[in-house]
Amino acid sequence: MVKTPNQMTKKMLIEKIDSILPQTQCGQCGFSGCKPYAIAIAEGNADINQCPPGNEEGIQKLADLLGVKPKPLNTAHGLPKPKSIAFIDEEICIGCTFCIQACPVDAIVGASKKMHTVIGAECTGCELCIAPCPVDCINMLPLKKKLVDVEYDPYMAGDKVSAYENKLKKKVADLSRMRYERKLKRIENEKKEKTERFARQIKRIKSLALPQQQTLQRKQKSSLHWNIK
């Protein structure tokens, strides 16, 4: 028996909504990623038609889940685009790492002042790497190959094609979600380590300064004692 939104816990509802979203992590919906958008929908703080990559198919699935009427895509958040991936012109790239920092799923590899490149299979096509690039060496390339090409696979047709495509889309989305959450966790750990390292440095500086401060206080007391005499 399928549970209605009223029968689900808030956590379950968020997970259901998040599983429908395409996991591009592009931020076009007005939130920092698909999970924050899912939370906003579950809490009634966002509408179901704010995701251009999900388009009409995603809106319909969200409407079915929540028991509401579907509505047209809110184009204020952008328009649907063909599936594409980022491509870095390696001859122009200066190795600034800005695109690496911007990529929500760690699909760009490289190092400071070294050539960067995109892992095509991991790229969600979010386009977040384009704006930070200071030398405009990143372009979006449309994917020409279909998920399922009936011409080369005559056994796949009709409902079989649709079911197989949905299965592949879910697999890709699940992988993108995992990479996105892994990056968030890594950033959180790095911030924690930085804070702890800073606290240790402050403690060390104070421990080194304390003997000097105590010596100065003793000299001041001694000076005061002789002045009184």
Determine, yes or no, domain membership for 225. no
Task: State the Cα–Cα distance between residues 122 and 28, nearest whole angstrom.
Answer: 19
Q: What are phi and psi of 156, to 5 degrees?
A: -95, 115
Q: At 144, is the pLDDT very low, low, confident or very high (cuts 50, 70, 90)?
A: confident
Domain extent for 147: 84-183
- Do 73 and 148 fall into the same domain? no
- Do 44 and 113 fall into the same domain? no
CATH number at residue 40: 1.10.15.40
> Which of 79-88, 128-137, 200-209, 220-229 shows the lowest per-residue confidence on average (mean pLDDT)?
220-229
- Do 70 and 99 fall into the same domain? no
Task: State the Cα–Cα distance between residues 121 and 123, nearest whole angstrom.
Answer: 6
Determine, yes or no, domain membership for 201. no
Largest CA distance in the chain: 109
Helix, strand, coil share (%) of the chain residues, nearest 5 = 50, 5, 45
Q: How many domains does the chain have?
A: 2
- Do 146 and 60 fall into the same domain? no
pLDDT in tens, 168-212: 888 999 999 999 999 999 999 999 999 999 988 888 887 776 676
- Do 90 and 166 fall into the same domain? yes
pLDDT in tens, 17-29: 999 999 999 999 9
What is the per-residue pLDDT for 1? 42
- Do 97 and 157 fall into the same domain? yes
- Answer whether 59's CB lies under 8 Å from 71's CB: yes
DSSP SS3 for 109: strand
What is the per-residue pLDDT for 150? 45
Q: What is the mean pLDDT of residues 218-225?
A: 62
Determine, yes or no, domain membership for 117. yes
pLDDT in tens, 73-125: 999 999 999 999 999 999 999 999 999 999 999 999 999 999 999 999 999 99
Q: What is the DSSP letter of 82?
A: -
Mean pLDDT of the chain: 87
Determine, yes or no, domain membership for 214. no
CATH number at residue 119: 3.30.70.20
Q: Tokens at residue 142, please?
A: 């449309």
| CB-CB neighbours of 18 under 10 Å | 20
pTM score, whole prediction:
0.77
Determine, yes or no, domain membership for 218. no
| CB-CB neighbours of 57 under 10 Å | 13
